[in-house]
Structure 1
């Protein structure tokens, strides 16, 4: 018995028990390490100037959060007219959103140059996902991309298809035929166009910028002005302002007093059968559901000119360089390059088009008509949105005021072009040297 007792207390048996305990502890540790640590909940903010898209954007953002449950993105839009100033003030004070909409070209480029925006060149496949001309709208002169393209807009002429059918009117395929059509309508006691100048931006943005490309020769013509090979008061620029003047007799007599919303109602109520407008107007017209069929056609070029349609990069999303959640924000920006995101944009925001090389199928009939213009005609961006908008007075400011003044017969088309040349040559070197 003594032998058995000593044997049970021997070091060897103690070691065996110790090893068994150790093995169990080791096994427990291994099992605990297999349990993933929950990811920290992150809330990102997304700034925008589009307050009317809250429901649609929140739906899109919810689809992202389904894939990344630990990341919630709060959409926080502000007034469009105040947006540029608000974002810059927030960036200066350190209170800006993690992500925010960026307008194309000059204003966003200034923010990047001031160091407020992160470079996004490292995002996988960004160069392969978007056409170069779209990325250029949010790139520095050195090729640093600072926003992921979000959506572009197109332009055309909305028309009352029911009235056109009733009066047996053909869709005009030249500028001259458009003016003849307007004359026919006016002789019948109908105000042809619903547009007005109560909001100054509309004549510049909906009319002038969309007739310029066909008159000057699209991107090649635009670059000729940008490079100083042509002056901004040449015959083709005068002709562009003349096209604006051509429309003046066919607007409402009290158009000076009508705002953008008023002129939309003229079309919706059937009082004017045509409206120079943008693809972003589609949801409004569909919601209003007028009691007539309506459609859209491309703004026609003058006889003998190639027809161009303005397909303009409207908004990108940039990353605040001071964000506390850079990696999470980049996950969202990377997701923006997917086919899923492209499809969600076309479904939720008809009239706004993703800029991916491979565009998702568009279900909305009217949006599809706008996008079909890109296959039928050549395209370019708005003439005054490039580098000639960077200084003061900018080409945008000059063309905005001059287009309104031409419509209202305060200046001639020649004077409007001269104002553009004089204003730009005060700061834009190619304009000051174009006559050399």
Structure 2
């Protein structure tokens, strides 16, 4: 009887071990990617790999804290979606050994070097990039056709478009003022066109500063534009934005190409267009804010290293990029993928390839590498305060200068 019990226990342990050996746990802030991982699992199984992928998505506002705590306590997953570099949050996780570098012989030949730069630290690569993003103004083509509106070429023309829409009973812009990151993104995408990359380059080199009249004027332009936002916009979220834009409750949104998947799912009949934020005048060229969205990184908590690396190897192939793009309508970071035949995606890809600003000050910039960060500590609370009439455009500029000059040497003398 005892022998029988021992054999039964041994069998249970063996079965559990076999079942566990093929499980890869992945955490993300992107709930829209769930079907991507179902297809990845299916493809890997078709290739002979008995791997089960458990994908878990957390709210973006909670995600970083959950990953930090889980990895520090040893309860984290095998793989996580990591933020891009440079960036203080990701660099801290790397420095603390919570993200592991990919093996030296890992094949990353399908990625442009510019993309790999966003996952490289100390000569090591931390993660496989999954997407690049293009942000700007997305608009309802039906409204533009109805009122015979043209794509604005200058900021003043953008205001004229908004004014025409408002006079005809259409809300020009839907802005999710409740979510500070979205307001910072709005500021940044406007900055690359209104300020221009040369001004941002001068800022980076310390040849100008945040107190410059051009930066103050950008703040003022944005603050003046809020009369064209929906009523009560400071209480609205990005979920509200998605629903409102999808069902025609606003004509335009300051957002990213990642939003198209949700809009299309909510309303397949919606006709969406895109244009870069127009510059201050016709003498300037418009630019788009583009960036590598994130990477899939190996964690120090990895329990199934061999299968986790096999998943990452697949993520570095054009086949993964094809799956990813056809489900999410995002631009994959990997080269050689077959993208869906969508006009909006073709425009986004062309914008990324030909009109990306070479200098930026939001994600992917030097101004977010230390604290206080221009992103989280200045523009995020500052934009909310300015839109709530608690801060003037001049005060927002002063706050930026005072914060960044604490640690960024080129601005210390300004």
Q: Distance in 2 between matches of 1:377 and 1:45?
A: 37
* 2:82–2:296 contact (8 Å) kept in structure 1: yes
> 3-state SS of the aligned residue for 1:383?
coil
Aligned pair count reads: 392
Q: Distance in 1 between matches of 2:336 and 2:203?
A: 32
Q: Distance in 1 between matches of 2:354 and 2:97?
A: 41
Residue 84 of structure 1 and its aligned partner are, at CA, apart by: 1.0
Q: Distance in 2 between matches of 1:229 and 1:359?
A: 41
Partner of 1:334: 313
Residue 346 of structure 1 and its aligned partner are, at CA, apart by: 0.9
Q: Is residue 372 of structure 2 the alignment partner of residue 390 of structure 1? A: no
Q: Distance in 1 between matches of 2:78 and 2:353?
A: 37
Q: Is residue 397 of structure 2 the alignment partner of residue 417 of structure 1? A: yes
Q: Distance in 1 between matches of 2:308 and 2:337?
A: 24
* 2:184–2:362 contact (8 Å) kept in structure 1: no
* 2:132–2:291 contact (8 Å) kept in structure 1: yes
Counterpart selection for 2:171 from 191, 200, 204: 191
Partner of 1:81: 61
In structure 1, stretches of 5+ residues that fail to align are 1-37
In structure 2, stretches of 5+ residues that fail to align are 1-17
* 2:30–2:60 contact (8 Å) kept in structure 1: yes
Partner of 1:428: 408
Partner of 1:44: 24
Q: Write out aligned runs for 1:118-267 (5 A).
A: 118-120=100-102, 122-126=104-108, 128-140=109-121, 142-205=122-185, 207-218=186-197, 221-267=199-245
Q: Distance in 2 between matches of 1:342 and 1:292?
A: 25
Residue 113 of structure 1 and its aligned partner are, at CA, apart by: 0.9
Residue 305 of structure 1 and its aligned partner are, at CA, apart by: 1.7
Runs of 4+ aligned structure 1 residues displaced above 6 Å come to none
Q: Distance in 2 between matches of 1:346 and 1:324?
A: 29
Partner of 2:82: 102
Instruction: Give the TM-score normalised by the residue count of structure 2.
Output: 0.86
* 1:109–1:139 contact (8 Å) kept in structure 2: no
Q: Distance in 2 between matches of 1:115 and 1:268?
A: 42
Q: Deviations over 1:86-139 (max 9, x none)?
A: 11111111222111110112211211111122222614442x422233222222
State the Cα RMSD in Å. 2.6
Residue 240 of structure 1 and its aligned partner are, at CA, apart by: 2.8
**Compared with structure 1, are the counterparts of its residues 247 and 262 closer, same or farther at alpha carbon in structure 2 (3 Å cutoff)?**
same
